[in-house]
Each structure stands twice: as structure tokens, then as C-alpha cells.
Amino acid sequence: MGMDMGEMTWNRKLLDYPITWQTAHERKGFDFTQITPEQGKLIQSRFHNWYTADWDFALTTVYFFCAAIGVAALFRWGSWALHRRSAVPRSRASAFDRLVAILSYTTSRVWRFKVFGNYYTPPLAAIIAIGAMFIWVMALMLGPKPFYYPNPVMGHSPPIATRTGWMSIGIMPFMIAFASKTNYVALLTRTSHERLQVFHRWSALLMYMTSLVHTFPFIVRDINEGMMEMNWATDRFYWTGVAALVPQTWLLAMSWGFIRNRYYEFFKKMHFIAASIFMAALFCHVNFFLTSWHYFWATLALYGTVWVYRVVRATLTPGTAIVSVLEDRTLHIRIAVPNSFRWAAGQHVFVRFLFGPLHWASSHPFTIANVPAVGEPNGAGLQQIELVLRARYGITKALEKAAAKGKTCISVFVDGPYGHVGLASDLRRFDRVLFLAGGSGASFTIPLLIDLERNRSSRPADATTRFVVAVREGGAFTWLERQMKPLNDLETIGVAQSTHVTRQKVEEIDPEKGDSKSDDNFGSLQNGRPNIYELVRELCEEPGRVAVVACGPDEFAHDVRSAVAAEQLSLALGRGVASEVFLHVENYSW
Ligand SMILES: Cc1cc2nc3c(=O)[nH]c(=O)nc-3n(C[C@H](O)[C@H](O)[C@H](O)COP(=O)(O)OP(=O)(O)OC[C@H]3O[C@@H](n4cnc5c(N)ncnc54)[C@H](O)[C@@H]3O)c2cc1C
Ligand SMILES: NC(=O)c1ccc[n+]([C@@H]2O[C@H](COP(=O)([O-])OP(=O)(O)OC[C@H]3O[C@@H](n4cnc5c(N)ncnc54)[C@H](OP(=O)(O)O)[C@@H]3O)[C@@H](O)[C@H]2O)c1
């Protein structure tokens, strides 16, 4: 490197002093005589001027995200409002119905890649949105030329490095906003937080890409000029940049599905630690240049307010979970919560079990398997929420083991409710609703079925409902029956139920053939998997508006999505019989 390290003054300051909120956008004291008039013009023009790069690149990135969220909000709220007005069934699909069908198709359609160990893509709409994000980032990154200054006097930072640095900063508040549980973007777009996780991941990847393109031009240039060692020792931007890039690389590498899903607890704890180091290092790295810190304040506001809200809300909802172990790897949990706790059928909560040395540090999402009681609140000021858990390998296994040893009362904090608050009431406008559940996914569909039957008077007069559930073994009947009990108190009209047992032979029951069983609550009982494609096709064979609501394992959800997407495409192409095919598939991992 041709430099004696002894001559260097090590610079390990975190920030330059004096600290200010931002630096000026004016170029002062620059010697224009050393560059040509064209070069002078270039470095003062839009998208080339270092002193306005925050406005040109970071702010432009912000505008792009705001516009995309605005379009999504307009579509989601617009179609909701228009559907409310046109709830009357039509015998033929209108042009509006066909437009909605094609848009709905994009939100339903997913693909499975068996070669990658059954990898399921996000829905087409998310792929399009991510594609748009990618094209936008590439255009802004590679559009303005040159990438390097032809004359080093024009500036220290290569233009491609400057712009990508600012683009990273512009992406940051959105990347964080997509991740939170109480979520401003979800509120604006009338959706639920878990559906935005895919955007959190992909915007993080784009931010990483722009961060790398920001870093390498400096390294290449410094190595070529023999300045690397010197700059590393004396320029704080170098080591604060590396201090940010290392945790950022970790965050990306550890978030791949197979690591995240296999070691979720470890992933989550490390994610928060690495993210905190990353944000702190990046904060120092940008060093209040131009308006860089404004983006940190925005991020803090977006994340901090919802975090405080969540913590306060969860702290105000302590409780005791009463755990019972049922057959078929199932746990049933009852938690007493204050009467002020309000939820809608189909919503979920995050439960923090104050139990064991590590479990208290994370909370887990579970669907509320019961519906709110009707009538006056009880005098004790408390009500019950119920959860049905499939025992797996982490907290659920630990709870199962503890219950087996007699520890059935566990202190908890309940954070929520979360999820699509309007789903239960939205379903009331449909002529036919098909519920499809795989295993414990029924804890999501049962409350929605009960809610629908309770609100029979708000539905079209001849509305019908079909409820299909697939379970591995007959042991599941115990909890299914328990959760469906409220249906016994209702006068159910037009409800057809069928239960499929897939890994055990049971005696089949077909009420249409006059079979009956005194203690059954499940309609027909069949061996083998339900044929999802056939069920969806049958649903769409008659005129009217239909809805499919599903929850189950990945393969189950994939088949439901594919079957519904095919019907929506037919409708969009003018070949459909039903005038609307609505789909809601509840995610259970992200
Ligand atoms: C909105 C929603 C509602 C859910 N409702 C239910 C329900 O009613 N009943 C039920 O049995 N399961 C439900 N799940 C799934 C459930 O949260 C996880 O299976 C559970 O956290 C697993 O706990 P575990 O530690 O035993 O899992 P592990 O065996 O350690 O992990 C199993 C899988 O669960 C996922 N997971 C684990 N911990 C979390 C977490 N804190 N947040 C998100 N995902 C996690 C991971 O993808 C992992 O692959 C729901 C999930 C979501 C997202
Ligand atoms: N709101 C939520 O997000 C929520 C709520 C509750 C539960 N969950 C999650 O839902 C998942 C359910 O898992 P589980 O362990 O409870 O399920 P499980 O016991 O494995 O049961 C799944 C059932 O669905 C059947 N099935 C699977 N794919 C199918 C397909 N393509 N067509 C027809 N039937 C199919 C299975 O048949 P085979 O036996 O032939 O495989 C099995 O009977 C869990 O991961 C749970 O965490 C999520």
C-alpha cells in the first residue's frame, strides 16, 4: 500500500463533531477552474449533484413506495366500498366483476416448485409488486450516467455509490414498517400484518443490494489507487460502513425460509439483536449528512409508536393460561381476559408464555378459536379466549411436556387481537361460502362459521354454507366438537358439513343416505382427503357471489389457491357462471 501505518492517525470517532440535525444542500468553496464547464454543469444538475442526492434518490424512493401503497390502498378500499354497494347478486358478471376477478386472480395464484423441496411462491400480485420494486430500483440506480466521475476533482464519492447509499436510506423506513405487527401499511391497505412480511423481506433484500453497490465502488477505487489501508485507518465512514454491512449480511443470510422456519426461536432473537446493531452502525455511518437522519426519525416514529402501543397493550392484558392436552397432538388453552378485550372471528393473538428460561422472550401467534359471547358482559369483568394448538417442536412441545407433568396454569401476556378484522362481516354478503380447513386450521374457520350463522339475518335469504375439514385421525373429533358447540344453540339453515379423516380408517357416515350418529357434530364423515378442486368447482357452478375461506398446511393452501385462481380466471375471461369468487387463505407462517 506504500504507506507507513505509523504515520496514520487512527480515527475511531463514532460521529463528526459538532453534531447537527442535517448538513447544508449548498456546494461551498468548490474550485470550478479545475474541471471543464460541462463537468461543472453535470455536478450541479439533478440526479448528479452530490449536495442534493438525498432529494433526488432517497426522496424519490420514498415517493415510489408511497405511490405503490396508495395504489394498493385505493384498490383495497375501493373494491370493498363498491362491493358493499353492489351486494345484490346478478345472473351475469358485469365488466366490474370481471375486472375484480382478474385482480383477485393475481392475489390468489401461487406456484409450487417441487425441485426446491416444495417451495411455494408468494401470490402473483406480490410477485408483480416485488418486480415493480426491483425495476424501479434498477432504473434509479443505473439510469443516470456516469457511474464514476471522469475527473477525480469532481468529487470523492463515485456517483453510483452516492445514489445507492441514498436509495438504501429511502427504502429503510418502509422495510421496517412492513415488519411490525401493528402496522400502518396494513391499516392503510386494509390488510393484515402477516401478508406484508413478504415485502419486508424483499425490500430488505433490495436495501442490501443497494448497500453493496454503495460499498464496492469505494473499495475498487481505493485498491486501484493504493489508498485502502489509509482510508480504513483514518476515515470513519469505512469502519462504520463495515459495522453496518456485517449485521446486515447476517440478517439476510439467516432469514432464508429454511433457516427461519427450522430455527424460528433462534432466528427471531438473533434478528432483533442484529437489526439493532445494524441500525446503530448505519446511524453513525450516515453521520447526519444532508437529511440522512430524517429517515431514521421517520423509522423510529413508524416502529417506535407501534412497539410502545403493543407493549402497553400486552402489559395491560396479563392472564393465566389453563392448558389441557387432547388427543391428536393437540393442546387446548383457555385464557381469561378483561371484558374490554374485543375481537372478531378469525383474528389471532400473540401470546407470551412466562415460562422456562427463554420462552418469555418471544410471543407466538395463535388464532382465537372461540367467538365473543353475546349479551351482557359477566359480572366478574372477565371473559375467556380459547386457543387450539398443534404440538410441534418449540413452545408448543414445551407446553405439552409441562402439562404432562402437571403444570397446567401458566402466566401469559396476550397481545392483540390482530388479523383481518372485517373478514367475518364481509362474508355475510355472499350467496355461498365454502370453508376449507386442514387439521388445526379449523380453529380459524370454526369461529367464522359460527359468526356467519349467528348473523344469518344479515345474509341473503337463500345463502348456503359448506364447511369441510380434514384431520389426520379421529382423535381430533374431541376438540372439533368442543369448538363447534355454539352451533348447537343456533338454528343453522343451509349448512352442509363434511369431515375427512386421512390417516385412519373410520366408519363412513352419509346423512343424505339416512346415516346418523348420536354424538356427531360433523355432517358426513369420510375417509381420505377432500377433493379441493372439485369442491371449489361445484361452488362456482351456479350464479351468485361466492367466497372460499381456507386455513391449513402449505400443500392444502396451495391447492385451494390454485382451484380458486382457475375459477377467477374463467370469470375474468367471460366463461364463469358465478359473478364473484372471493378467496381468503389464512397464512400461518411468514
Ligand atoms: C396468524 C397465525 C395464526 C396461527 N394460529 C395457530 C393456531 O391457532 N394453532 C396452531 O397450532 N398454530 C397456529 N399458528 C402457527 C403457530 O404460531 C406456530 O406453529 C407456533 O408458533 C409454533 O410454535 P413452536 O415453537 O412449537 O414451533 P416450532 O416447532 O419451533 O416451529 C414450527 C413453525 O412455526 C413457525 N413459528 C414458530 N414460532 C413462531 C412465531 N413466534 N411466529 C411465527 N411463526 C412461528 C415457524 O415457521 C416454524 O417453522 C398460527 C400462525 C400464525 C402466523
Ligand atoms: N390462523 C392460522 O394461521 C392458523 C390457525 C390454526 C392452525 N394453523 C396452522 O395450520 C397448520 C395445520 O397443521 P396441522 O398439523 O394441524 O395439520 P395436520 O394435522 O397435518 O392436518 C392437515 C390435514 O389436511 C390434509 N391435507 C393436507 N394437504 C391436503 C390437500 N392438498 N388436500 C386435501 N387435504 C389435505 C391432511 O391430509 P394427510 O394426512 O393426507 O396429509 C390432514 O388431514 C399448522 O401449521 C398450524 O400451525 C394456522
- Per-residue pLDDT, 10: 63
pLDDT-based confidence at 24, cuts 50/70/90?
A: confident
pLDDT at 128 over 90: yes
Sign of the CA dihedral with 525 first, then 528, 532, and 537 last: negative
Q: Could you tell me the distance, in angstroms and rounded to a whole number, from the CA of residue 333 to the centre of ligand 1?
A: 15
Q: Which ligand is nearest to the CA of 389?
A: 1
> Which atom of ligand 1 sits closest to the CA of residue 262?
49
pLDDT, one tens digit per residue, over 383-413 is 899 999 999 888 999 999 999 998 889 999 9
Give the residue among 104, 165, 377 at the shortest CA–CA distance from 292.
165
- Tell me, using a 6 A CB cutoff, whether residue 389 lines ligand 2: no
Hey, whose CA ends up nearest to atom 46 of ligand 1? 261
Which residues does 46 contact at the CB level (< 8 Å), separation at least 6? 52, 56
- Per-residue pLDDT, 4: 45
For 367, counting Cβ atoms within 10 Å of its Cβ (0-12 exposed, 13-18 middle, 19+ buried), the class is buried
Give the residue among 398, 334, 387, 332 at the shortest CA–CA distance from 360.
398
Q: Helix or strand or coil: residue 512? A: helix
pLDDT at 518 over 80: no
Tell me which residues have their CB closer than 6 angstroms to ligand 1.
Answer: 194, 261, 264, 348, 362, 364-367, 387-390, 392-397, 440, 443, 587-589
Compare 590 and 518 and report the one with higher pLDDT.
Answer: 590
Q: What percent of the chain has pLDDT over 70?
A: 93
Q: Which ligand is nearest to the CA of 345?
A: 2
Least confident range of 25-29, 272-276, 476-480, 537-541: 25-29
Q: How does the average pLDDT of the chain come out, rounded?
A: 90
- Per-residue pLDDT, 1: 35
pLDDT-based confidence at 587, cuts 50/70/90?
A: confident
- Tell me, using a 6 A CB cutoff, whether residue 112 lines ligand 2: no
pLDDT-based confidence at 2, cuts 50/70/90?
A: very low
Angle subtended at Cα 278 by Cα 276 and Cα 280, rounded to the nearest 5 degrees? 70
Q: Could you tell me the distance, in angstroms and rounded to a whole number, from the CA of residue 588 to the centre of ligand 1?
A: 7
User: What would you measure as the largest C-alpha separation in the chain, in angstroms?
Assistant: 98
- Adjacent-strand bridge partners of 464: 432
Q: How far apart are CA 364 and CA 361, in angstroms?
A: 10
Q: How far apart are CA 51 and CA 28, in angstroms?
A: 10
Candidate ranges 249-253, 352-356, 407-411; pick with highest mean pLDDT = 249-253
- Adjacent-strand bridge partners of 415: 350
Pocket-testing residue among 260, 480, 589, 590, ligand 1, by greatest number of atoms within 8 A of Cβ: 589
Q: How far apart are CA 498 and CA 515, in angstroms?
A: 13
Q: How far apart are CA 320 and CA 403, in angstroms?
A: 14
- Tell me, using a 6 A CB cutoff, whether residue 521 lines ligand 2: no
Q: How far apart are CA 339 and CA 240, in angstroms?
A: 50
- Per-residue pLDDT, 297: 97
